[in-house]
């Protein structure tokens, strides 16, 4: 299984609530439609008065069978649509993404 992680920052002038609503209800369904995607997880910043704001607004995890499946997914019309949609709500100059090696330790 291959894991791809995206760290998202909201566009300037967008509230955290607007960002979350868009990610959940508009972008999420677009991502879920990408062929070959095995698992899709959205992580949203939770209110926590005892900790400083993390700076980022969301972390998305996408799981694929392997790199070829991922590349086919991104190259599909659904993958291109989901990728293009990031511009609608995310600050792409700050957002980052990568394939990661997950090590579950406990």
d(CA 30, CA 78): 7
Q: Give the pLDDT score at 64.
A: 97
**Alpha carbon 89 to its chain's center:** 11
pLDDT of the residue at 11: 96
Task: List strands edge to edge, sheet with 2-8.
Answer: 39-44, 58-64, 2-8, 96-100
Q: For residue range 33-88, list pLDDT tens digits in order.
A: 999 999 999 999 988 889 988 989 999 999 999 999 999 999 999 999 999 999 99
Can you give the residue ranges of every domain in the chain?
7-47+56-89
CATH class of 7-47+56-89: alpha beta
State residue 57's pLDDT score.
Answer: 96
- Give residue 92's pLDDT: 96
In three-state secondary structure terms, 85 is helix
């Amino acid at each position: 299984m291959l894991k791809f992680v995206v760290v998202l920052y909201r566009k300037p002038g967008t509230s955290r609530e607007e960002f979350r609503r868009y990610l959940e209800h508009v972008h999420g369904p677009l991502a879920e439609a990408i062929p070959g995607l095995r698992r899709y997880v959205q992580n949203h910043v939770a209110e926590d008065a005892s900790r400083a704001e993390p700076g980022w607004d969301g972390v998305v995890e996408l799981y694929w069978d392997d790199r070829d499946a991922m590349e086919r997914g991104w190259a599909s019309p659904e993958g291109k649509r989901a990728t293009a949609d990031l511009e609608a709500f995310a600050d792409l100059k700050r957002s980052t993404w990568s394939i990661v090696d997950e090590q579950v330790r406990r």
